[in-house]
Structure 1
Amino acid sequence: MISLGTILVAKYLEGFTKLKELYHFSLSCIMNLEANHLSGRLPSTLGYLVNLEIFVINDNNFEGQIPSSIKNWLNVTSIRVQGSGLSGPLPSEIGLLTKLTKLIISDLNGASSPFPPLANLYNMEYLILRSCNIMDVLPSYLDVMGNLTILDLNFNKISGQIPSYFYSLARVENIFLNGNLLNGSVPEWMLETGNNIDLSYNKFEALLSNGCQSRLTIPIFKLCNRQEFVSFWFLQYHKPCSNYSYSLHINCGGKEVTISGTTFEGDVDPGEPSVFLSSKTNWGFSNTGLFLYDTGVSVDYIELNHSLNFPTPYSELYESARVSPISLTYYAYCLGNGNYRISLHFSEIVLTNDTKLGGHGRRVFNIYIQVTLQGKLVVKDFNIVDAAGGILKPVIKRIPVAVTSNTVEIRFYWAGKGTFLTIENNTGYGPLISAISIEPGDGFGPLALPSFYIRLLLECSLKA
């Protein structure tokens, strides 16, 4: 009896030097090297795994490109290469793998690439090429992939128009084209379908002939081709702010709570795979992406956990959280210009001891702040558990900003790192945020903790 998993791991650690031996075995192969912090180049000898069906190398530190020898994987049905460290361009040999149903590649470094020739991949269900530096127009073969349920091309450099003849895409349940260079008019069928569609951050000239703001049935924040940095408030209502605020507090995923005299506004909408929601005051949020799992799709974008061990009322702020599988952005608008401190409140309430992973899961994501035309990566590979010193513990990440356009965007983005698809409720990866505070600051020097958190620390130490 041969343990294929043992063989694959052993040969990998030897530099893949003897993978040719596996050619003689008529075995169904699954190769999963996810989250092993492996480095080096993927060798061409991977092509010897002609019986490979599933290939997963998420969350590693490889270099170089996906080898062209994958053309021999004629039995492969699923390829997952997310946060792997690999670079583009995408190999054209992918187009030879006609049994592929799930192609999930994200966050490639290096050179740009065109779309690979996938016209013969009629069985495709998940086509996810996110943040792969694709510089091309939308390929016509998208219209003939009859089994497609997820099309995720977020955060590339795709230009040109969405062809009006792509009528068959109307049956695709999830279409994510966020963060590209698409222009022209948005086809009317995209506005009429009830599917999840995200076209935010593009350069469309109009939704329909009536102009950019004729309909707002899909997330279109910063959808149109405008040079100035404007908020959804201006795009939606075409009017300036009647007054300005100088602070903001949001209990992400939870009801309104008041802590030591500070009221955190509630944020309880369950959310959707593609959505923009605006509050009654001066903030909103958008989500793009849906949680993937082989047996189904989760639509739960709020997590609750009442097992926190520190005293009330502070636990109310951390017992709920908003989660996202890809990108979650909070928008604050109608802020008075000036110096602020942003406090981001986190506590890992999903990857806990009552899940299959216990406390061993890794949630890793990036944090961006945008106050001008260009967003800034302020925290890379943020891990809540590492920062807090454990699960079910609070931690605050404090960031000073200078607001000059009355607007702030706070974006949390999953770049394919950390644990993926391994716990019951399917939300053990991607961004998680418990609360957000924006308060006047005194410049860019050291920042004090908010007063309610200082009281929390004092109360905990007194009771210890």
Structure 2
Amino acid sequence: EALRTIASTLKKTTWNFSLNPCEGVGGWRNPNPIEGSEDAVTCDCSFLNGTVCHVTSILLKTQDLQGSLPKELIDLPYLQEINLARNYLNGSIPPEWGALPLINITLLGNRLTGPIPKEFGNISTLRSLAVDSNQLSGTLPSELGSLSNLQRLFLNSNNFSGDIPTTFAKLTNLTDLRISDNRFYGLHINCGGEDVIINGTKYQADMYDRAPHYFESTINGWVSSNTANFIDDHRVPEGVTIWNNTSELKMIDPRLYGQARLSPVSFTYYAMCIVNGNYDVNLHFAEIMFSGNQTYKSLGRRIFDIYIQGKLMLKDFNIVEEANGVGKLVVKTFPVTITDGNLEIRLFSAGKGTVTIPDKGVYGPLISAISVDP
């Protein structure tokens, strides 16, 4: 009865219900499908000494089926594989499938809409999930990070948006991940600070201190490098490359600007696996080491160059001049086209600016946050 309902929902008309589907005849298995297609129902008849059969696989690939996905698959409790690739199916993915012991789910090349159900995070047996080339949308459920056996995850060519969940770092068996041609956020880093959510967007922590260093954020797909050491450093503590503000902050929401990443000479952020396309690279700055009053501590000058993709975008950039004061934010935006999935942002001091105000060791490029948005 479950197969009747499934056939009706899929609009599959060639199954002959007068015959046993586990015998492989009567439209239940096509031994000579056209090239690129599959048409088969497979059973396991080893239960109760060979007296009971259960459906374990349904392959209906390239059938031009025009129905929708049947939630009634839940009535096939031993189903391990469902392949409905390259049909004309519409509607959403049933969350009920999350209770099945599925190993392979292939739905590529249909007209499916809506999100991936969070219930899919319960399919501990799942090794392959392919939903590419549909019209799926929404954010990716963090629950997918619980799929410890997952080896293939194909999400490309949909309308997914938001951040890639940090839980994906737990997918240690994943060998093939495809996410291109979606609307994922590019990159958001709180330089020198902790994780913080601003207007619904999570800025990732960047808190590794000391120079020189090379830091890799394996969870979030970016690395940073910081060159050289501060010479004759009288700051307290000395040698640090993260600084907490000592100036009065003059912005409505200071959470991105209360700390900053700095370098004696140069630091670079490399973002990897960004979907190719057009982006705005937004660099957030606020001067937090000088004072804004009429004392010698206000006389410091920080001057550096900004490079993106190896190209000089701004020469002799001065945060205080651009922001019109100390403790005030300024965001510089640069349009960039990414063609190889990689982005490089580099700030470089060419030996300009003061080096002893308010203390020896206060010099070099400084940045508060980075956001890269499509």
Larger CA Rg, structure 1 vs 2: 2
Q: TM-score, normalised by structure 1?
A: 0.40
**Comparing both structures, which one devotes a greater share of its residues to strand?**
2
Q: TM-score, normalised by structure 2?
A: 0.49
